Structure 1
């Protein structure tokens, strides 16, 4: 993010409840309305014990940002949240702006052999 560009930041509380989610979305909506060129960001540093409520909040905040024509950035993603995002197929959200979004050396690509088995590998496994 350009240091001169403002950010519309919401902070996930600890603990986070489902009742917090609409308020967080309203905060982000108001911040983006007040500063339409701001980069939407979510400080998730307090989410040290994330659960599906955390995922729901991030998914809904992402929709708010997309509706404003922007991409939500995460700040301070703890390893537990990064692992949960990967587990539910939202690992790309863990890429952070201005911080190490992925573990060192992790370029986001699957390691060799991590994909679906090929017909040849299935044959060799059964022979």
Structure 2
């Protein structure tokens, strides 16, 4: 007996990622539920990324950093990761200050420079 696969690519809805909206101050008790929510979204959708809309999170300081670090850890343990949507500039600066790097929605992945971009060489320096 032979199996003939259907023509074309399998259906994957990459245009609608799993989204978790974070709003208002989040307590320690709510953090556990949100971590469970990230794991459930990853399992239910089969996606490798959950987008966390942090626009309504507000200025929480290190509480927001702790929450996002825990969400990222829960996502990594489930085989995925989180991507931030609409972070406040102060939150982005604080994440950078404590050394946490999150992928932001709408930014290209930071692996290699785009094609056609060359580094500038000072006059008199040998080209590498």
- Class of the TM-score when normalised by the shorter of the 2 chains: 0.5 to 0.7
For these two proteins, the number of residue pairs brought into alignment is 97
Instruction: Give the structure-1-normalised TM-score.
Output: 0.66
Tell me how far apart the structure 1 counterparts of residues 72 and 64 of structure 2 sit (CA, whole Å).
12
* Bigger fraction of residues in strand: 2
Q: Which protein is richer in helix relative to its size?
A: 1
Q: Which runs of 5+ in 2 are unaligned?
A: 1-11, 109-128
- For residue 58 of structure 1, the aligned residue among 55, 62, 68 is 68
The TM-score normalised by the length of structure 2 is: 0.65
Answer with 1 or 2: which has the greater Rg.
2
* Whole-angstrom CA distance in 2 between matches of 1:64 and 1:41: 14
Within the alignment, does 1:18 sit opposite 2:44 as a pair? no
- 1:68, CA displacement in angstroms? 2.4
CA RMSD of aligned residues (A): 2.3
Residue from 75, 97, 117 that aligns with 2:105: 97
Q: Distance in 2 between matches of 1:13 and 1:54?
A: 11
